[in-house]
Structure 1
Amino acid sequence: MKQELTIQLIDTHAGGDVSRIVTGGIDPLPGDSVRAQMEYLRDDADGLRKLLLEEPYGIPEMSVDLLVPSSDPRAAAGYIIMEVMGYPIYSGSNTICTATAVLEAGIVPKQEGRQSFLLESPAGLVRIDALVESGVVEAITCEGLPSYIHTHRASIEVPSLGTVTYSVAYSGGFYALVDAEALGFDLTLDEERKLACAAHAIVEAIQAERGFSHYTLGDVGPLPFLHFMGPVHQVAGGYYRSRSATYVHPGVICRSTTGTGTSARLALMHYEGLIRPGDRLETVSLRETGFIGEFSGIEQEGDYQVVKNNITGKGYVIARSDIVVNCDDSLVDCDGLHHILSSRESC
């Protein structure tokens, strides 16, 4: 008899960013909220994240979303977001992918037309509005986290780049926002590697010089993300479009423009007086995919004007599979993982 360990997955993508939705094979995690379950996974079972984002099962460009029971009875499910940089409390593209998978797996039955339901992220409840046409999930709109500008137009000296002007927004993580044209970028696919190198240099310089603190969360770690901004064009009344690229990890530019990156852009445009509630911004990636962010309102939180927003995109199912976890494989590290894997004996 041998022990067979498997993890059930629905692989999805939104805007080109692949999210692996874990639907089975993991034992219930301790914690009375999705946030507490996330913290347990982060502190005591980080092997799952590493397993699915590293060789031989994955690559760093992917994300992983583990479906877990919600602590709020109003939510259809909870989900924990895992990326190569760690455990973000929220992500727009991951939420779009998770909502798509929840519908395609029948956890939330599809209804033709528009339907709404709640998911529970580590950041709290998220309202999902889905558009289903002829049984196909054509669009997901999710709430972005309330976003605000922490720093406006600071400057820093960056080796090989010179003086770089940047703003910093919080939209689920701290983002440096940088004008792409000022650095000579057109935000085309052939620039992807150079964008990643420039972003890494800027982020390292900012991290070495200063830290950032959220007005309620406090210290959430060093600034991890950078969003390159192309020129903003108005294409209709209250509708704008801009090329964009988001850096999340050394060597990694997201294939999508990211939901949190789009939320950060909305916060900056509001701060600079360029948009009003009800206006929308379509961000367009290096691969010509896009998300649409809607500026839905403003709240005053202490010294900050916080932008409420919604993000719309489309998720696609690209695979349904079982991953067989072989802890005897020299490329597989089961430390920090074995104790949360469901198992069954087989001949």
Structure 2
Amino acid sequence: MECFVLCSIQTARWHSVFLSISLLLITYLMTLQRGNTGHGECERTEDCRATIGTEMETQLPPHEGDELSVVDMHTGGEPLRVILSGYPEVKGDSVLAKRRYVREHLDHLRRALMYEPRGHYDMYGALIVDSELPEADLGVLFMHNEGYSTMCGHAVIALGRFAVDYKLVKEPQSLETQVNIHCPCGLVKAFVEYSGGRTGGVRFLSVPAFAFATDVTVTVEGFGDVTVDISYGGAFYAFVNAQRFGLDVTKSRTRDLVDAATAVTNAVKSQVKLHHPTSDDLAFLYGTILTDGNDDYSTDPTANVCVFAEAQVDRSPTGSGVTARVALQYHKGLIQLNQTRTFQSGATGSRFTGKAVEETKCGDFKAVVVEVAGRAFYSGVSRFVQEADDNLTHGFLLNLDGGHKF
């Protein structure tokens, strides 16, 4: 019995020694492997984060659900989410028809990318589509928190750079490359600075822009009768001097500016009937632009704030808004052809330049072609997932005044 116990103890000791040696050997081999891959055990939190970033990069754990990939940019602070993949085929024989199709059949994807948790209240997006125009390099559909726009200048500036960088234009030209972008409002020609393989500033020539109506009186809730101008720059805007509401576009609270502009938008929508000479799809008020009232020609910047869609605040000076404002100033005789004005965002201080470069017609309206210039920058690249069992996978939109959207 004693021998049995001693032998058992001895055997257990040798087993323990063997196990210890085995563990040491395994640890050594794992260390060698980590050394070869550069993913060793980290000693500091910073090292761990770097290791996880290197190993995982953009990989996601196993999941069930669709993925969407995007490139995020901004122009003067106004975001643009360019959709790379994840959308099914967009049907339609024209860009305007495709706009109707996504609104009727694919709007859940707009909400997924524009709304939280992937976006935010003031997110803006662009979906690249095929154009029916042979001269177009690309077609585009614009989207925001309310739906789909017909024109967006800040997006055109960003897309011009994007198109060159992502090889949508096959042979970039030195100094400046032309990119023909088919927007729902028509063909817009963008010109992208290009040198040494790098893109820079962008200017574009607008569709025909015109003053629709001036000195129109509307009754605005909370403010009484207000005189507005309405002008078209690829989309229709109402223009009002912010001083009419006791506000300053560069100093007043954003909430107060939004409330005043939204009240004007609601009044114009209910009291003024808009029409566009070429398409009923273009005959809607996109938003209201509050200005500093400095409409006479000057080399000094003039500031404005654009509130569009569902009380969305543009961080940039608003490219199509600059177009419409230049057309309005030209109509009133306040500026001449090729007189460049600088337009400043009351929200961020970012600037565009704009000038009327050519007289033209849009139906019976006397119109001008406007050149707008600015800079766009990259923010990042993202892959988003819509997990099948996520109740909020299609997004939600919080409204500070209530009426949240899901």
Q: Does the Cα contact within 8 Å between 1:232 and 1:241 map onto a contact in 2?
A: no
Equivalence for 1:209: 271
Equivalence for 1:340: none
Q: Unmatched 5+ residue regions in structure 1?
A: 335-347
Deviates more, 1:264-273 or 1:136-145: 136-145
Paired AA for residue 323 in structure 1: F
Q: Counterparts of 2:264 and 2:391 in 1: how far apart (Å)? A: 36
Cα distance, 1:120–1:210 mapped onto 2, change above 3 Å: closer
Equivalence for 2:316: 256
Q: Unmatched 5+ residue regions in structure 2?
A: 1-61, 396-406
For 2:126, which of 43, 49, 65 is the aligned residue? 65
Shift of 1:4: 4.5
Cα distance, 1:321–1:209 mapped onto 2, change above 3 Å: same
Cα distance, 1:212–1:333 mapped onto 2, change above 3 Å: same
Equivalence for 2:231: 169
Alignment of structure 1 residues 1-347 onto 2, 5 Å: 3-108=64-169, 110-218=172-280, 220=282, 222-230=284-292, 231-232=294-295, 234-236=297-299, 241-286=301-346, 287-333=348-394
Deviations 1:231-264 (A, max 9, x none): 146444xxx6311111113442211111111011
Paired AA for residue 179 in structure 1: N
Q: Does the Cα contact within 8 Å between 1:90 and 1:122 map onto a contact in 2?
A: yes
Report the secondary structure of 1:270's partner residue.
Answer: helix
Report the secondary structure of 2:133's partner residue.
Answer: coil
Q: Counterparts of 2:296 and 2:337 in 1: how far apart (Å)? A: 18
Deviates more, 1:11-20 or 1:126-135: 126-135
Report the secondary structure of 2:159's partner residue.
Answer: helix
Cα distance, 1:166–1:108 mapped onto 2, change above 3 Å: same
Report the secondary structure of 1:31's partner residue.
Answer: coil
Q: Does the Cα contact within 8 Å between 1:234 and 1:241 map onto a contact in 2?
A: no
Q: Does the Cα contact within 8 Å between 2:115 and 2:123 map onto a contact in 1?
A: no
Q: Counterparts of 2:304 and 2:140 in 1: how far apart (Å)? A: 27
Q: Does the Cα contact within 8 Å between 2:65 and 2:388 map onto a contact in 1?
A: no
Deviations 1:210-231 (A, max 9, x none): 3211123247454231011211
Q: Counterparts of 2:245 and 2:217 in 1: how far apart (Å)? A: 13
Q: Does the Cα contact within 8 Å between 1:284 and 1:291 map onto a contact in 2?
A: yes
- Supply the RMSD in Å over aligned alpha carbons: 2.2
Deviates more, 1:317-326 or 1:133-142: 133-142
Report the secondary structure of 1:214's partner residue.
Answer: coil
Cα distance, 1:325–1:136 mapped onto 2, change above 3 Å: same
Paired AA for residue 117 in structure 1: V
Shift of 1:115: 1.4
Cα distance, 1:28–1:115 mapped onto 2, change above 3 Å: same
Higher percent of residues as helix:
2
Q: Does the Cα contact within 8 Å between 2:356 and 2:370 map onto a contact in 1?
A: yes
Q: Counterparts of 1:159 and 1:140 in 2: how far apart (Å)? A: 40
Higher relative contact order (CA 8 A, sep 6+): 1
Q: Counterparts of 2:180 and 2:364 in 1: how far apart (Å)? A: 30
Paired AA for residue 154 in structure 2: S
Normalising to structure 2: TM-score of the pair?
0.76
Deviations 1:251-296 (A, max 9, x none): 4221111111101111111111111111222210021101111201
Q: Counterparts of 1:93 and 1:307 in 2: how far apart (Å)? A: 19
Q: Counterparts of 1:95 and 1:243 in 2: how far apart (Å)? A: 21
Q: Does the Cα contact within 8 Å between 2:297 and 2:335 map onto a contact in 1?
A: no
Q: How many aligned residue pairs are there?
A: 331
Q: Counterparts of 1:185 and 1:2 in 2: how far apart (Å)? A: 50
Paired AA for residue 337 in structure 2: P
Cα distance, 1:229–1:106 mapped onto 2, change above 3 Å: same
Shift of 1:36: 2.2
Report the secondary structure of 2:368's partner residue.
Answer: strand
Paired AA for residue 241 in structure 1: P
Shift of 1:26: 2.0
Shift of 1:172: 1.9
Deviates more, 1:201-210 or 1:100-109: 100-109
Deviates more, 1:111-120 or 1:51-60: 111-120
Normalising to structure 1: TM-score of the pair?
0.88
Q: Counterparts of 2:365 and 2:128 in 1: how far apart (Å)? A: 33
Report the secondary structure of 2:164's partner residue.
Answer: helix
Q: Counterparts of 2:330 and 2:184 in 1: how far apart (Å)? A: 26
Cα distance, 1:320–1:112 mapped onto 2, change above 3 Å: farther
Q: Does the Cα contact within 8 Å between 2:160 and 2:190 map onto a contact in 1?
A: yes
Higher percent of residues as strand:
1
Equivalence for 1:339: none
